[in-house]
Amino acid sequence: MIGLRPGRLESVVALGAHCDDIAIGAGGTLLTLCASRPGLRVDALVLSGGGTPREDEERAALAAFCPGAQLDVTVLKLPDGRFPAHWEEAKNALEELRRRTDPDVILAPRTDDAHQDHRGLAKLVPTAFRDHLALGYEIVKWDGDLGAPSVYQPLDDDVAEEKVRLLQTHYASQRHRGWYDREAFLGLARIRGIEAAAKYAEAFFVKKLTLDLKG
The residue with greater pLDDT, 84 or 19, is 19
The model's confidence at residue 56, banded by pLDDT at 50, 70 and 90, is very high
pLDDT confidence of residue 6: 55
User: Is residue 179's pLDDT more than 90?
Assistant: no
Helix, strand or coil, per DSSP, at residue 181: coil
Q: Are 207 and 147 in contact (CB under 8 A)?
A: no
Cα dihedral sign, 8-13-92-84: positive
How far apart, in whole angstroms, are the C-alpha atoms of residue 58 and residue 15? Answer: 12
Strand partners, 105: 12
What's the pTM value of the predicted model, to 2 decimals?
Answer: 0.94
* pLDDT, tens digit (0-9, with 9 covering 90-100), for 94-151: 999 999 999 999 999 999 999 999 999 999 999 999 989 999 999 999 898 999 999 9
Of the chain, the percentage scoring pLDDT greater than 90 comes to 82
User: Is residue 83's pLDDT more than 80?
Assistant: no
The model's confidence at residue 2, banded by pLDDT at 50, 70 and 90, is very low
Q: Are 101 and 13 in contact (CB under 8 A)?
A: yes
